[in-house]
Amino acid sequence: MAIAKQYLGREGPFLIAGLSGLRDMDAITLSRAQLVKSGGLEAGTGWRLILVGGMVKMVCKALAALFLGGACTCVGGWGWGSESR
């Protein structure tokens, strides 16, 4: 994270959190929590980084469902757009 901050500025950790969210949310959650606990990261920044990772993961899963299952899977799965009589 220090390298990302050095080369990418304040947005670097958020970019890393987003990329990490694609792969493994457990790792980003545990590592950020440990940084906050040790004082290496402010609590406000820590939860935001975890949130960014989770949002990226959620959007990727929604897009995968849309492209792999089609629009009916995404819309019909929640009962929207279905014309049941």
Supply 10's token pair: 């304040």
The CA-based diameter of the chain, rounded to the nearest angstrom, is 60
pLDDT value of residue 34: 93
Cα 78 to Cα 48, 64, 74: the distances in Å are 29, 16, 7
Mean pLDDT per 10-residue interval, the chain, length 85 residues: 74 86 87 91 92 92 83 58 52
DSSP line for 15-65: HHHHHHHHH-HHHHHHHHHHHHHHTSS-HHHHHHHHHHHHHHHHHHHHHHH
pLDDT value of residue 6: 75
Q: Sketch the domain layout of the chain as residue ranges.
A: 2-76
